[in-house]
Amino acid sequence: MVKFIESELDLLRREVERMWGLVYSQLEQAREAVLRSDAERARQIVVREKRVNAFELKIDSDVEDVIALYSPVAVDLRFALAMLKINSNLERIGDYADGIARFVLRSGGVSLDAKLADDLRLPEMFDTVLFMLRELQEALGEENAEKAAGVMAKDDELDRIHAASVAILADYTRRNPDRLEWSLEFLSVFRKLERTGDHLTNIAEEIVFYIDAKVLKHKNNIPDGKE
């Protein structure tokens, strides 16, 4: 029985790693789609979203099977539960990448001014969430709870960039009233990236829980919900 459950948990880990890679790619492509106003790249993200959803369902089913068939305990149970929750958070991040791609498609070819993007620190925001995603994948692979916990501090910077975006875009629309509707939609990109940071913090908590059996609580936790 021990050998069987080890094999199943290893398979589960590999599935989550593949899901992680797919979601990372979606977010990375979303970055390029927005910054380059690349509609074709955005369309590819929307098509691949179906793969993200299919992966989530497969992993959820496999976790349920492991728990039902092998009744794992202690660290094995923590691992299975962590994979279940990490999978859910990854799927939600994939949703945000899809939502950003759909913003690009709705923009109808309206190009993003590079100076505006820099003033808003949009490239930095994307780079931060991608860094967090990479670091957390490494933390899980290395079973490094300290590394996972260290990623959480990055979420504060995402919150600050998101908060500052409103005033910057308000000033932009005063000078470019014809871009009002576009600017209002553009704000949703920052909201989705800020929420991505929240889900990455959730993932960090699950990694720490699995490795150290510690439950970390969000400060000012916001009820989850799709946009």
Q: pLDDT of the chain along its 227 residues, tens only?
A: 556 788 899 999 999 999 999 999 999 999 999 999 999 999 999 999 999 999 999 999 999 999 998 999 999 999 999 999 999 999 999 999 999 999 999 998 788 999 999 999 999 999 999 999 999 999 999 999 999 999 999 999 999 999 999 999 999 999 999 999 999 999 999 999 999 999 999 999 999 999 998 766 544 444 444 44
Is 24 inside a domain boundary? yes
State which amino acid sits at residue 63.
V
Q: Where are the alpha helices (DSSP H) in the chain?
A: 2-35, 39-70, 74-106, 114-119, 122-142, 145-151, 154-175, 180-212
pTM for this entry:
0.91
Residue 179: in which H helix or E strand, if any? Answer: none
* Secondary structure of residue 73 in the 3-state scheme: coil
Q: How is residue 51 written in tokens?
A: 């793969």
Domain interval for residue 176 = 2-212
Answer yes or no: is 219 within a domain.
no
Residue 220 lies in a domain: no
Q: Is residue 89 part of a domain?
A: yes
Which CATH number covers residue 69?
Answer: 1.20.58.220
Decide if 109 is inside a domain: yes
The position carrying tokens 């989850």 is 224
Residue 108, pLDDT score: 84
Instruction: Extract long-range pairs of 25-31: CB within 8 Å, 24+ residues apart.
Output: 26/52, 26/94, 26/97, 26/98, 27/93, 27/96, 27/97, 27/126, 27/129, 27/130, 27/133, 27/196, 28/130, 29/97, 29/101, 30/96, 30/97, 30/100, 30/101, 30/126, 31/123, 31/126, 31/127, 31/130
55 occurs within a structural domain = yes
Total domains, the chain? 1
Residue 179 lies in a domain: yes
Q: Quote the pLDDT of residue 48.
A: 97
Answer yes or no: is 182 within a domain: yes
